[in-house]
Structure 1
Amino acid sequence: MHDRSTEVARERSNLTTFVLSLGAFLILFDVTAVVVAMPGIADDLGFAVAGTAWVIDAYSLAFTGALLASGALADRFGRRRAMLAGNIVFLLASIGCGAAASAPLLLTARALQGVGAAFLGTGALALVAGAFPHQRRRAQAFATIGTISGVAMALGPTLGGLLAAWFGWRSIFYANIPFCLTLAFAVPRVVAETRESGGRPLDPWGIVLLTLSLGLAIDALLKPDAPSTVRAA
């Protein structure tokens, strides 16, 4: 009986680690997968040369800004709830990216995708502590998530290039849909909710100022001689 219960607990732990790792894979895959699709995106949507970098930077900038808020909100309202909310935003934004008919729409969807990724990632990492109270198992879970994250970044350009070549650049974003749906189904059934009452306070002005300052710095670095991120018709 003891051996059976131990085996069930181990299987559940492995499943929990897999589900949380899937969230990490999605976040980092979307950072690198779009790089090889830049020429096609620029041709279809009329990006200027410097403006194509914003397809990546809009995601990264929104991710950084939202990351500061996601931790405090996840502690207050629940880490699993934060992960699921981030997953929904990421899913809808991915559909928006794939359906974008213009450069501004794509950049807006990419920024929303970054916000969703911040809550998805913060929730997933915070849930590890609650799911694995023993330090050894927790360390193993973090190591697995770290490995999966590295694999996602390494495979991103290759898989993104294949998807773009076979089905067009929009398929890179649509490819997120089945993974997001899997998370939406699995997380409530596999991962228990955790929260921290009286957690870190939210600093909205600090978040806004940091995001704006980073955005202005990136904009200045990307286009010192270009007046616009969108190519003139």
Structure 2
Amino acid sequence: MKSSSEMVADKQAKRGGTLALIALCLGYFMVILDSTIVNVVAPVLETQLNTTHIAVQWVIDSYLLVFASLLLTVGALGDRLGNKGIFLLGLIVFTVASALCGLAASVEILIAARVFQGIGAALLVPPSLALLNHTFETPQERVRAIGVWGGVAGIAAATGPVVGGLLINWLGWRSTFLVNVPVGLLGFLLTARFVGTSPRLAQRGFDIPAQLAGIVALGTLTFAFNEGSHLGWQAWPIWSSLLVCGLAIVAFLLIERRASSPMLPLGLFSSASFSAANIVGVLLNFGFYGQLFIINLFFQQIKGYSPLLTGLALLPESGLVWFASWLSGRVSARVGPRVPMVIGSLIGAAGFMVMCIVDRNTPFLITCIALMGIGFGMSFNMPAMTTTCIESAPRERSSIASAVLNAGRQAGSALGVALLGSLVGSISAFIPGMRVAMIIAGLVFLIAAGLSFFAVRKIEPARSFVVQVDKHPVELKS
């Protein structure tokens, strides 16, 4: 039986872990919220800043472009310099950038501030998951914490349009950026006080050539996906960006294969579960965010809803996010991540298939059922998929593993919005195009279910490799 002092210590440790989880979730919440909330703000910006549609599009794209292109670099920096310091720096950069966005007097200043904000976002995401992985010691605790982390991200993504519509109606468009300031300050204080440090990998260099190649590859890929439907896929900026992306990927792989201390150890992909989880992440984001883009257009352009009413109409999709993520964590802790990954993908695919019968005159109840299936399926899958990715990598490499997962998911999101969004170009052809898009998204989720069933059986660690931790050589294993 534990003494009273031991019971007090256990209680304090549990409270500290909870506050650490809140701190890490706050940073990730801001990043994901700002990825979706700006879509509601865009039409207002065009009017109030007296600018063009293309300029407003860059308000959205500049953030995503910088965010995606820096993820791998930040993952490597977190492993080498310490994830807590990188995360705290990210909170400072993101909070200051949000204030600059809210105070911007012109669209040019706003775009520059959004670039700064994208840097902050990249500094937050890989370290947040790595720190979470080191804060919770047992696999069961980590699985449940990742379930909460994933649930917070799902809520942020799904409720962004609602929050944006409410803030615009009450306080104006600037409040959609300024709301991050108190959240960022609270996150900084909680992180500094309650989040512990993670081991550093003190290697000989920072692999600068690979970092530059990775930035170029992700940056050009994201640019092409975001601008392809706008400029046309045959336009020279698009095909040249894709060509540069391909060359940069080849250069990246050659550099990493020969590097003595690679930024991205290719041995991570020796784990079938790690590789499968990353592919599933790309597929899920492709379908979900492509759907989210189209549904916003459907409610506003076809149904005639206001931005606020559109956000409220999307609540069925976000209403089950927290429950599904919590349940995924519980199920994964008991039977492993394979079951929720398969079931979540199948439920999401069923939701997409129901969306195929939706048109202007369809009762909202049917649309509601479809959105609930998509939202639940995505949210039930994501924590398990994230757990598979992180647990399949050595704990000391959790930051770069997180960066790989999130870089792939960002690329999947951009591709989904670009390719599925291009199917609904005109109002007259919107419904047929939406149905084709929903069929494609459903098939993508079915592929994810099949891949999860056959590749994710038992989480095995990636091939071990020798690095230095705090200047002492060790062999990393799971």
User: Does the pair score TM above 0.5?
Assistant: yes
1:1-150 mapped onto 2 (5 Å cutoff): 1=4, 2-150=6-154
Contact 2:98 / 2:177 at 8 angstroms: preserved in 1?
yes
Q: Which residue of 2 aligns with 1:228?
A: none
Q: 1:157 aligns with which of 148, 161, 164?
A: 161
* C-alpha distance in 1 between matches for 2:79 and 2:48: 42
Q: Which has the larger radius of gyration?
A: 2
- Determine which structure has greater relative contact order: mean sequence separation of CA pairs < 8 Å that are 6+ residues apart, divided by chain length: 1
Task: Give a deviation string over 1:126-146, Cα, whole Å, max 9, x none.
Answer: 101211121111111111000
Report the alpha carbon displacement of residue 83 of structure 1 after superposing the two structures with TM.
Answer: 0.4
Deviation of the 1:220 alpha carbon = 4.0
1:213 Cα deviation from its structure 2 partner? 4.4
Q: Which residue of the other structure, out of 200, 216, 222, is the alignment partner of 1:214?
A: 222
C-alpha displacement of 1:10: 1.7
Write the distance in 1 (CA, Å) between the matches of 2:196 and 2:222. 35
Q: 1: distance between equivalents of 2:10 and 2:100?
A: 44
Greater Cα shift, 47-56 or 94-103: 47-56
Query: 3-state SS of the aligned residue for 2:196?
Result: coil
Task: Specify which of 208, 212, 227 is matched with residue 205 of structure 1.
Answer: 212
Shift of 1:196: 2.6
CA distance in 1, matches of 2:188, 2:72: 23
Report the CA distance between 1:201 and its aligned residue: 4.0
Residue deviations 1:104-158 (CA, integer Å, cap 9, x gap): 2211111211110111111111101211121111111111000011111122111
**Distance across 2 between alignment mates of 1:18 and 1:118:** 19
Same amino acid, percent of matched pairs:
33
Structure 1 residue 216, shift from structure 2 partner: 4.5
Q: Is the Cα contact below 8 Å between 1:98 and 1:170 reproduced in 2?
A: yes
What do the CA deviations read for 1:77-127 (whole angstroms, capped 9, x no partner)?
110100011111101111111111222221111121111011111111110
TM score, norm. by length of structure 1: 0.89
Cα deviation, residue 161, structure 1: 0.9
Maintained 8 Å contact 2:70/2:215:
no
1:223 counterpart (231, 234, 238): 231
Q: TM-score, normalised by structure 2?
A: 0.45
Whether the aligned pair in 2 keeps the contact of 1:90 and 1:112 (CA below 8 Å) is yes
* Structure 1 segments unaligned to the other structure (5+ residues): 225-233
CA RMSD, Structure 1 to Structure 2 (Å) = 2.1
Q: Is the 8 A contact 2:19 2:190 kept in 1?
A: no
Confirm or deny: 8 A CA contact 2:73 2:215 kept in the other structure. Answer: no
Q: CA–CA distance in 1 between the matches of 2:222 and 2:119?
A: 15
3-state SS of the aligned residue for 1:34? helix
Q: Which amino acid aligns with 1:95?
A: A
- Cα distance in structure 2, aligned partners of 1:195 and 1:107: 36
Query: How far, CA to CA, are the matches of 2:133 and 2:56 in structure 1?
Result: 38
Size of the alignment, in residue pairs? 226
CA contact (8 A) 2:68 2:222 kept: no
Q: Which position in structure 1 is the counterpart of 2:270?
A: none
> Contact conserved, 1:98 with 1:174, CA < 8 A, in 2?
yes
Structure-1 separation of matches of 2:33 and 2:84: 21
CA deviations on 1:7-60 (whole Å, 9 max, x unpaired) are 222222111111111111111111111211111111122332243222222111
How far apart, in 2, do the equivalents of 1:157 and 1:223 lie?
A: 26
The answer as to whether partners of 1:53 and 1:222 remain within 8 angstroms in 2 is: no
Go from structure 1 to structure 2 and tell me whether the alpha carbon gap of 1:104 and 1:223 turns closer, same or farther (over 3 Å shift): farther
Query: What is the CA-CA distance between 1:194 and the residue it aligns to?
Result: 1.4
